[in-house]
C-alpha cells in the first residue's frame, strides 16, 4: 500500500510540474498576480489575495470577486496565450521570456503579454515587425514548446 501511495504522489507531482512548466509563474501566479480579466477592460490591475483560484494546476489572482467569478465561468477565454510568456519572444525565437504585466495586448479576443524594460518594449517590436505574422510563428512555436515540456 505504501508503494502504491508513493507512486500516486510521484505521478501527481510530475503531472503538476508538467502543467506548471507550460505557464509563466512569477510571484506564485500567472501574469505576476495581475488580474487577467481586467485586461479585457484595457486595464492592468494587480490581483488581491482574497480573490484567487487555480486553473490547470496554476494560480490566478483577481482584483474583485466579480472578476474571479467571470474567470471561473470561462477560464480558457481569459488565460493568457503562450502560458503568459512574452508573445514576441515565443514568436520570434521560441523562447520562454518573463513579462511585464503592464505590457499587454488584446488581439482577436485573446490576451498577449510582453516583456518590457527601460531598454526594450517587445509589444512595440511585436507591432512594428508584424503582429499577425509573429502570432502565426508563436502559435507554431508554442506547440513545439508544449510538446517538449511533457
> Do residues 107 and 143 share a domain?
yes
Interatomic CA distance for residues 35 and 30, integer angstroms: 9
What pTM did the predictor assign? 0.85
Q: At 143, is the pLDDT very low, low, confident or very high (cuts 50, 70, 90)?
A: very high
> Do residues 127 and 63 share a domain?
no
> Do residues 57 and 84 share a domain?
no
For 89-128, the pLDDT digits (tens) are: 999 999 999 999 999 999 999 999 999 999 999 999 999 9
Instruction: Say which range, 8-17, 24-33, 68-77, 123-132, has the weakest mean pLDDT.
Output: 8-17
> Do residues 48 and 87 share a domain?
no
Which range of residues forms the domain containing residue 110?
A: 80-150
> Do residues 99 and 146 share a domain?
yes
> Do residues 91 and 145 share a domain?
yes
Instruction: Please give the grid coordinates belonging to residue 90.
Output: 515565443
Examine residue 1 and state whether it is found in any structural domain, yes or no.
Answer: no
Which position has the higher pLDDT, 75 or 17? 75
> Do residues 59 and 116 share a domain?
no
For 18-35, the pLDDT digits (tens) are: 444 699 999 999 999 999
Helices (H), 95-130: 122-128
Q: Which of 86, 110, 20 shows the shortest CA–CA distance to 59? A: 20
> Do residues 135 and 70 share a domain?
no
Amino acid at each position: 500500500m505504501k508503494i502504491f501511495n508513493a507512486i500516486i504522489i510521484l505521478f501527481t507531482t510530475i503531472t503538476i510540474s508538467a502543467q506548471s512548466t507550460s505557464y509563466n509563474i512569477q510571484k506564485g501566479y500567472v501574469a505576476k498576480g495581475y488580474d487577467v480579466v481586467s485586461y479585457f477592460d484595457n486595464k492592468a490591475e494587480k490581483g488581491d489575495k482574497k480573490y484567487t483560484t487555480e486553473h490547470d494546476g496554476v494560480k490566478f489572482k483577481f482584483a474583485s470577486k466579480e472578476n474571479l467569478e467571470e474567470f471561473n465561468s470561462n477560464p480558457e477565454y481569459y488565460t493568457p496565450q503562450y502560458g503568459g510568456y512574452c508573445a514576441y519572444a515565443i514568436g520570434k525565437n521560441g523562447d520562454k521570456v518573463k513579462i511585464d504585466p503592464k505590457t499587454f495586448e488584446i488581439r482577436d479576443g485573446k490576451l498577449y503579454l510582453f516583456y518590457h524594460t527601460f531598454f526594450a518594449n517587445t509589444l512595440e517590436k511585436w507591432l512594428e515587425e508584424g503582429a499577425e505574422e509573429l502570432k502565426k510563428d508563436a502559435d507554431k512555436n508554442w506547440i513545439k514548446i508544449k510538446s517538449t515540456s511533457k
